Chains A and B, each alone.
Chain A
Amino acid sequence: MTLSVAEKSYLYDSLASTPSVRPDGRHQHQFRPIEIYTDFLPSSNGSSRIIASDGSECIVSVKAKVVDHSLDSDLLQVEIDIAGERDDSLITESCTSLFNKVLRSIDTKKLQLTKKYSFKLFIDVLVLSSNSYPVSLISFGIYSALNSTALPKLVSNFDDLEVEELPMFHDYDLVPLEVNAPLVFVLAVVKNNIFIDPAANESEVANNGLIVSWSDGKVIAPIRTIALNETNTKGFNPQLIQQGIKLVDQYAEEIAKALTNL
């Protein structure tokens, strides 16, 4: 997105001033409205589709597979495909690595079936279109997809170390997966102010971006900075990180609730 110099300075001044004015009048902590649809892919164990008000959209599928967890201990695998970007592009790779890290906060005990076998979850993300940095969209997608995931119910014995048999499942009964999926927030730093969920034009003038992860009531690692644009990026006051974490701490609970309230 290219903006004119006059637009940029107008936006920058509005966002940098105290009190700040966002171009759509939002509060510092206010998200843009989103739409969520879940469980529309019958061939996946869980699925979700998130649409932001600016038309950014992401589709997530969760598929489960039974694996021997002594051979394959990596029980969560995220793959991200961003339309219009190559698989080896910087943004795709950095998002993939971020989410593979963030999802380590999930307790994989929940995926264990028997002493030998576990479910492995393949989380495939398709970003259909995105106007700003897509990680919070993706994290909302993964969050709702995991919440809509249901796995087959085990009918064979838990202790299968002695018996040579594969786990057996109930013909149609499913058990909802209950995990505390993490959320990831993008914050934009403009001078001494910090904003949640920057829109495309806000990202364009931001001095820096902050990625803050959150799970189960607290801020977790990784926390990262990212450059949201190529022209305006510069250093910022470290106190803003504290401020950003506080902001996430304060509002993440409410967002998690809004996302689960289907």
Chain B
Amino acid sequence: MSEVISVVSRNGAFQKTMIMEEFSSDESEDDYNMTGSEDEEEGEEGAEKSSSKPTSKKSSKNIDSELMTPGELITSDPIWMRGHGTYFLENDTYSSVAGRVSKVNKLLSVIPLKSRYAPETGDHVVGRIAEVSNKRWKVDIGGKQHAILMLGSVNLPGGILRRKSESDELQMRSFLKEGDLLNAEVQSLFQDGAASLHTRSLKYGKLRNGQFCQVPNSLIVRSKNHTHNLPGNVTVVLGVNGYIWLRMTSSMDLARDAPPGGSTQVSGGEASGRAAGPTGAVSLNPNASLSITRLEEESSWKIYSDENDASITNQLKQTISRYANIIKALAFCEVGITHERIVLGYEASLAYSDVGALIQRDNMEALGADVLNAERMRGNAE
């Protein structure tokens, strides 16, 4: 294979795989004659459809986790509450999307196979400022609508107890402007489903010192923690919305991972490459766990700085590129992206000394397979 470019090609076809098994013409020789329709007598599909031919032969089957397509009858049982992905007509509940049925207590919903990110309260997301308007920022989080970040929901320079003033409204762009990336938590949802965000914790805020990449949101699983320190002095922020930020590990990141009491087992290599906190402030004692008293010094203007730390070496950038490629490879294989898998992927990727080789399709597939294999092996060992 050429090192310059890799090409997958096929002649006489529009795409890689054949569309689907061909429907031979004799199959469509069903009787279209409306007069003599002698279809098997099946269960009626609700009053609305009684006049038509029966649609589904599955009405008697167990509907749990079964695949539904739009317009399909889910149940005629009125005890269910109707959730997302369903609609209701004359006592019958139908599916409105293609997906799996989910039943939680009495709530019946159909979860679509794929859709845009739907925010939930408590989600850790990565977003990009799309618009600055009156006392609020609009943030693109890959959802149906932009999320709202109120001026009152961010930490402003000068400490946590500082009062917001009118001058803050006028200089909103000096904190966050169009294009800026930040991580935040979904604080609440508006009536129409739009998210309201906040960054009132030191783990949230403007993002620096790294690189952005994006994967389908379905590949990110909600978990307790979405910020992980990775081997090679890199930290990843896995936004639930599929937006991912890879950055140089900061002292803050290390402090977060350190066990309470301050005793850290940081290897020499990592310690030397360590830089200031993600928010820009340099702590004299990076191993100390975070204390409330430091909040004030952290909340200086530096938390909205656009400058990257000068200490990012080329080697570290290579490592960040490597992680970006690993994440893209996992997404390419449609494998869910977790902290463990990224680390496994990193270990497997070390077989390729050339980071650029990881963008080739074969290598991405091999990497995905390696990760799943390694996971299976470890699972057995434990």
Contact = CB atoms under 8 A, between A and B. Distances in A.
Interface of A: 2-7, 9-11, 13-14, 17, 19, 21-27, 29-40, 49, 53, 144, 148, 201, 251, 254-255, 257-259, 261-262
B314 interface: yes
B325 interface: yes
B314 A261 contact: no
Given A9-B308, A21-B321, A23-B324, A29 B4 contact: yes
Contacts of B206: 4, 6
A257 B5 CA distance: 10
A158 to B, nearest CB: 31
A21 B317 contact: yes
B3 interface: yes
A33 B9 contact: no
A244 to B, nearest CB: 15
Interface of B: 2-16, 128, 178-181, 206-212, 305-308, 312, 314, 317-318, 321-322, 324-325, 328, 354-356, 358-361
Given A4-B179, A21-B317, A13 B7 contact: no
Contact of B181 (A7, A27, A262): A7
A31 B307 contact: no
Contacts of B317: 10, 14, 21
B359 A6 contact: no
Contact of B9 (A9, A14, A30, A262): A262
A79 B314 CA distance: 44
A35 B16 contact: yes
Contacts of B14: 37, 40, 49
Nearest to B352: A25
Cβ-closest 4 pairs across A and B: A25-B355, A2-B179, A5-B306, A31-B5
10 contacts: A13-B308, A24-B324, A25-B325, A26-B356, A30-B3, A30-B5, A35-B7, A36-B7, A258-B4, A258-B7
A4 B181 contact: yes
B77 to A, nearest CB: 43
Contacts of B128: 2, 4
Given A32-B359, A33-B361, A6 B208 contact: yes
A19 B308 CA distance: 19
Most buried by B among A4, A11, A257: A4
B321 A37 contact: no
Given A24-B359, A33-B360, A38-B11, A10 B210 contact: yes
Contact of A37 (B10, B211, B322, B356): B10
A20 to B, nearest CB: 8
Contact of A25 (B2, B209, B312, B354): B354
A25 B314 contact: no
A254 B4 contact: yes
Nearest to B323: A25
Contacts of B7: 33-36, 258-259, 261
Contact of B307 (A6, A7, A23, A24): A6
Given A4-B207, A10-B208, A21-B318, 19 more contacts: A2-B128, A3-B179, A6-B206, A6-B307, A7-B212, A14-B317, A22-B356, A25-B354, A25-B355, A26-B359, A27-B354, A31-B5, A32-B5, A33-B7, A34-B7, A35-B8, A255-B2, A257-B2, A262-B10
B361 A37 contact: no
B308 A6 contact: yes
A10 B308 contact: yes
A46 B307 CA distance: 51
A39 B11 contact: yes
A148 to B, nearest CB: 7
A163 to B, nearest CB: 38
B307 A9 contact: yes
Given A19-B314, A40-B12, A261-B7, A24 B209 contact: no
Nearest to B321: A25
Contacts of A7: 181, 211-212
Nearest to B305: A6
B179 A23 contact: no
A25 B210 contact: no
